[in-house]
Amino acid sequence: MPERDRNRSEMPWHVVVAVEDVPETGEHMTLVADAETRLAIARMAGLRELPRLEADFALLRQGDGGLRVTGRVSATVGQNCVVTLEPLQNVIEEDVDLLYMPAAAAAAADGETAAEPKWDDPEPLIGGAVDLGALATEFVILGIDPYPRKAGAVFEPPREQKPDPGPFAALAGLMKDRDGH
């Protein structure tokens, strides 16, 4: 199993939608993660808590067997301030606009067969479906502030302290006086 597919299968939230189940006119889906799912995602992402995780998606068939997913993922994440270590909550709002295509169609659209993927390449459809739960989880994790700070918290480095002169400082002073230097 490719690394990318393995990572998605390890996601704790799965809402799989087959392209063939999406009407030609499109479909709107609102997802809300339950407490157990939020707890699993919080553990996976190294968060203190994840009290809210929602996704609002518009699904529209695209081309020959493709699916465009647009919308927004929003969450409230509990973290600790990197300066004060106090608990804080941050809100994540991530816009989503992805095109999923069957692997063969995605390669043909790019004009290449086995090239390295580019940032704007279509996402590959896996089994003719898109896992919206895994997609929402990925976007929340990407939106997490790696260095969260409480409002107004400013890091102040330790003040320079004079180094401890050590036990022989007085002796050095006496030697200096004796030599006249």
Position 105 scores a pLDDT of: 57
Q: Name which of 11, 130, 152, 140 is nearest 84 in CA terms.
A: 152
| pLDDT surpasses 50 at 5 | no
Position 44 scores a pLDDT of: 95
- Tell me how far apart the alpha carbons of residues 41 and 49 are, in angstroms, rounded to a whole number: 9
Instruction: Please state, rounded to an integer, the average pLDDT across all residues of the chain.
Output: 86
- Condensed to tens digits (0 to 9), the pLDDT of residues 48-81 reads 999 999 999 999 999 889 999 999 999 999 999 9
How much is the pTM?
0.74
- Condensed to tens digits (0 to 9), the pLDDT of residues 87-125 reads 999 999 999 999 999 976 555 555 555 567 677 789 999
For residue 180 the two structure tokens come to: 């006249």
| pLDDT surpasses 70 at 28 | yes
- Tell me how far apart the alpha carbons of residues 60 and 90 are, in angstroms, rounded to a whole number: 31
For residue 26 the two structure tokens come to: 């499109």
19-31 average pLDDT score = 96
149-159 average pLDDT score = 82
- Tell me how far apart the alpha carbons of residues 72 and 163 are, in angstroms, rounded to a whole number: 55
Name the pLDDT band for 174 (thresholds 50, 70, 90): confident
